[in-house]
């Protein structure tokens, strides 16, 4: 499985500011995904990021709030813009892998607190 790193591991941010989360993979992957996990809840997919194309956002998530970049096959960023306390969550990136491409492997996550 791929080795995935995320930066920062945690941050405390002021309301109205933006934070960019980086996800780095040690091998080239076609698909990268960004999830949010709020306390006591399961994973919610924010968007799917393919290299060289616009990210595909899930219902309830918009590009203006969560812009994503995917400049190459090993790196992606997620920005959480104009933050509010409701954005406090763990943000996880994952990569698609495995023989059929559907297995997903997760980075360690970024714990975001908005005050």
Q: Single out the residue of 28, 30, 38, 84 in contact with another protein (rule: CB under 8 A).
A: 30
Q: Which of 96, 105, 91, 89 is nearest to 20 (CA)?
A: 91
**Which residues fall within 8 angstroms of residue 54, CB to CB, at 6 or more apart?**
63
Number of shown-chain residues binding another protein (CB under 8 A): 23
Q: Single out the residue of 31, 51, 75, 81 in contact with another protein (rule: CB under 8 A).
A: 31
Dihedral over Cα of 2, 66, 69, 5: its sign: negative
Residue 41 or 82 having the CB closest to another protein = 41
To another protein, the closest distance from the beta carbon of 31 in angstroms equals 5
Taking CB under 8 A as the rule, which mask of x and - marks residues 81-110 in contact with another protein? -----------x---x-x-xxxxxxxxxx-
3-state secondary structure of 86: helix
Distance CA(29)–CA(16), nearest Å, equals 33
For another protein, the binding residues (CB under 8 A) are 1, 30-31, 33, 41-43, 45, 48, 58, 92, 96, 98, 100-109
């Amino acid at each position: 499985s791929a080795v995935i790193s995320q930066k920062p591991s945690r941050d405390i941010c002021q309301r109205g500011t933006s934070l960019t989360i980086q996800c780095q993979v040690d091998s080239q992957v076609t698909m990268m995904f960004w999830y949010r996990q709020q306390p006591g809840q399961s994973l919610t997919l924010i968007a799917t990021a393919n290299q060289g194309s616009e990210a595909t956002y899930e219902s309830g998530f918009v590009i203006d709030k969560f812009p994503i970049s995917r400049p190459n096959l090993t790196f992606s960023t997620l920005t959480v813009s104009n933050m509010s306390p409701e954005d406090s969550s763990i943000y996880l990136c994952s990569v698609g892998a495995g023989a059929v491409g559907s297995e997903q492997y997760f980075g360690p996550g970024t714990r975001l607190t908005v005050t």
